[in-house]
Amino acid sequence: MISKGRVWKFGDDINTDLIIPGRYLSSYDPAHLAKHAMEGANKEFAAGVSKGDIIVAGENFGCGSSREQAVTAIMHSGVVAVVARSFARIFYRNAINLGLPVLISTDAVSAFEDRDEISLDWRDELLMSGDGSKKATLQQMPTHVKDILEHGGLVPHIKAQLRHRRSS
């Protein structure tokens, strides 16, 4: 499967307050959160992001608090994946649990520019510019993480496992 979209590029240490500022946490409505996604880091993001776009960032993406709303805001903004050099552990786990693909790449942030048109090849674990001139490899995801993401998150994954066990 291949996803196509634009790059939204961010640097290192993008914390959860930059992803979804605390003043918007009075509501857990995903549409409300999406309207303010990444507002602390780029005020143009929420109005400009399109379904299929990909966040590309540096090190320690999602550091800060453990708020799940940071993942929810990104997911409901239309972003299909976050690619970074590294992730804060709690953000990484929240993303997997909620069904947002978080992919590690040591070279993506230096390979692409903000708003580049790119393709994400899920099978070959590769990011490539529209004209093929720029490429970045992705670290292979563990099989159990792929399984969770294929079900749309941890809860749907566990429900599928339970249905399978009952039918066996």
Give the pLDDT confidence score for residue 77 in this predicted structure.
98
Tell me what the mean pLDDT of segment 84-104 comes to.
97
Give the pLDDT confidence score for residue 54 in this predicted structure.
98
- How many other CB atoms are there within 10 angstroms of residue 116's CB atom? 19
In which element (H, E) is residue 7 found?
strand 2-9
Band (75; pLDDT cuts 50, 70, 90): very high
Task: Please state which of the ranges 36-50, 75-89, 103-117, 152-166 shows the lowest mean pLDDT.
Answer: 152-166
Distance of CA 6 to the CA centre of its chain: 13
CA distance 148 to 160: 10
3-state DSSP: the chain helix, strand, coil percent, rounded to 5? 35, 20, 45
Q: Is the pLDDT of residue 168 over 80?
A: no
Give the pLDDT confidence score for residue 164 in this predicted structure.
86
Domains of the chain: 2-139 (3.20.19.10)
Q: Is the pLDDT of residue 11 over 90?
A: yes
Tell me what the mean pLDDT of segment 30-35 comes to.
97
At position 109, the amino acid (one-letter code) is V
